[in-house]
Amino acid sequence: MSQTRTSLKTKPVYAFIGADPFLQSESLSALNDSLGSNLQHMEFDGEKAELSNILDELRSFAMFGSGKLVVIREADAFISRFRESLENYLQAPSDSGVLVLRVNSLPSNQRIYKLIQKVGVIEKLQPPKAADLPRWIIAQARRLHNVGVDPDAAQLLAELIGDDLGRLDNEIGKLALQCEKNQIRLTDVRQGVAFQREQQMWDMTNELAAGRSDQAVRRWQQMLQMDSSVEYRAVTWLGMWLEKAQQAIAMRASGMNTFAIAGALKIWPREMQEPFMRTAERLRAVGLEHALDLLVQVDHQSKTGIGSAAGNVERFLLTVGHLLQSSK
């Protein structure tokens, strides 16, 4: 015996198309809210799920609630394995269950796309372009967290985090709890814990650039005391720092000015831009490739148990600091 869906507006199938997991989750959450809390919700892995089990769930009576919401994650693989049978189902879908397909892509010229479009709903989930991220941040903060965001604060968030929408939303949520008068300002973003770590990394590498390796090591030890997990992120961050320096040198050679280079490489805040360019020039003088090779060695040693990760990073700082000092 089948059940009739609780709402005439409910469709038998929904396809959420897009590679961004945050947008996928938001769309699913919105669908859940629109259908009400009395649906039995179940999820399947598209790479492992069997069509027979999915169809049984969609067609069977719900033990709890008034119907079923059957979600298939990574449904690209599921569609590839059961395309023809799934197309047959979509021509006469069950009225007791709602099927949700979460896919990275689904070409509109495929028959299954047209069948879903005919009986269900297709949502194409496109993340905002880089230029539109600040507007997205402001809208997301107001819609989901009930706070405002100053335009310069939104711009800084976008530049520091990029288009990782899940992390952006997480940071907005944390800032919403800390800000005054329900308004996130530039100072709130700069003082955020996540960005303090990035600022501290900049300070450490600037000490290196100035040839003060002892001060760089002191900053490194302070970071470890505050957050021991930083030792596992340091190699990644230092690698990004060296790669940005390499890019900056190439951009300078092509005639770009400091402001344009800093904008392209997302060097922020503004007071870090000139010190970073000086760092890049001095690293060029001692050989960036040599510094990168040293960092690769540090990473290998840490992963193979030769010394501690924290100690290996400290030795890297001392070595690079000595090279920069000798270039004066």
Best CA proximity match to 290, nearest among 256, 245, 224, 232: 245
SS3 state of residue 184: strand
Q: At what angle do helices 234-253 and 273-286 cross, to 10 degrees?
A: 90
Q: How confident is the model at residue 28 (pLDDT cuts 50, 70, 90)?
A: very high
CA–CA distance, 259 with 241 (Å, rounded to integer): 17
- Predicted confidence at residue 63, as pLDDT, reads 61
Best CA proximity match to 154, nearest among 180, 128, 133: 133
> 76: exposed, middle or buried (C-beta count within 10 Å: 0-12, 13-18, 19+)?
middle
- Predicted confidence at residue 2, as pLDDT, reads 37
Best CA proximity match to 42, nearest among 72, 16, 64: 72
**pLDDT, tens digit, 9 for 90 and up, residues 150-205:** 999 998 888 777 788 988 898 899 899 989 999 999 888 877 756 667 778 888 88
Both tokens assigned to 281: 């020039």
Count of CB atoms within 10 A of residue 257's CB? Answer: 11
- Predicted confidence at residue 253, as pLDDT, reads 92
- Contact partners, residue 197, CB within 8 Å, separation at least 6: 223, 227, 230
Both tokens assigned to 321: 């600091």
In the predicted structure, residue 3 carries a pLDDT above the cut 50: no
**Region(s) of the chain under CATH 3.40.50.300:** 13-124
- Predicted confidence at residue 279, as pLDDT, reads 82
**pLDDT, tens digit, 9 for 90 and up, residues 264-283:** 887 766 777 888 888 888 88
Q: Provide the 8-state DSSP code for 270.
A: G
How distant is the alpha carbon of residue 164 from its chain centre?
Answer: 3
Indicate the fold that domain 194-326 takes in CATH: Zinc Finger, Delta Prime; domain 3 (1.20.272)
Q: How confident is the model at residue 112 (pLDDT cuts 50, 70, 90)?
A: very high
- Which listed CATH number (3.40.50.300, 1.10.8.60, 1.10.1240.10, 2.40.160.10) goes with 130-191? 1.10.8.60
How distant is the alpha carbon of residue 271 from its chain centre?
Answer: 26
- Predicted confidence at residue 7, as pLDDT, reads 44
**Region(s) of the chain under CATH 1.20.272.10:** 194-326
Longest CA span, the chain: 84
Indicate the fold that domain 13-124 takes in CATH: Rossmann fold (3.40.50)
Sheet containing 67-73: order of strands: 39-45, 67-73, 97-103, 13-17, 121-124
Both tokens assigned to 165: 């929408």
Mean pLDDT is lowest, of 84-88, 143-147, 245-249, 300-304, for 300-304
Best CA proximity match to 205, nearest among 289, 262, 282: 282
**Region(s) of the chain under CATH 1.10.8.60:** 130-191
- Predicted confidence at residue 249, as pLDDT, reads 93
